[in-house]
Every structure is written in structure tokens, then in C-alpha cells.
Amino acid sequence: MTQKEIKIEGMTCHHCAMAVQRELAKLPRLTVNDVKIGSAVVSYDEGTVTMEQIRGAVEKAGYRTAGQLSA
């Protein structure tokens, strides 16, 4: 399992964090360790989950990742 902190732009409140957590939790073999305004910490299986899928989940929640998402 790989652990990564993801910087997220556009979050302003607890409800934003909950929306991101909800979408990330839908990804298989990914555990949401922490979500707070501006970031999320996740653990995931690189063989199952891609950084593009993580980016897509954040965007589906209505936010965008900041910087490069690389392993």
C-alpha cells in the first residue's frame, strides 16, 4: 500500500471535506486516512488505483488537485 497526501484546491468548509471523502471512499482498495480543508491523505494499492482515478474522484466532488499527482 502506498500512502500519499493530495493537495486539493477549492475546499472551504467541513462539507467540502466530507464530499471529497465520500468520493474517494468509492475507489476500490483505497483507504481515506484523513481529509481536511485543502488536502487528503489516502492509502491505496497502486496495482488497482491510479492517480488519474484519484484526481477524477476529487473532481467529481467538485474540487481540483493542486500540483502534480505522481506516485
- The yes-or-no verdict on residue 71 having pLDDT over 90 is no
Query: What per-residue confidence (pLDDT) applies to 16?
Result: 94
- In terms of DSSP bridges, do strands 30-36 and 39-44 run parallel, antiparallel, or are they unpaired? antiparallel
Residue range 27-67, pLDDT digits in tens: 999 999 999 999 999 999 999 999 999 999 999 999 999 87
Which pTM was predicted?
Answer: 0.88
Pick the CATH number of 2-65 from 3.30.70.100, 3.40.50.150, 3.40.50.20, 1.10.540.10: 3.30.70.100
Measured between alpha carbons, how far is 43 from 3 in angstroms, rounded to an integer? Answer: 4
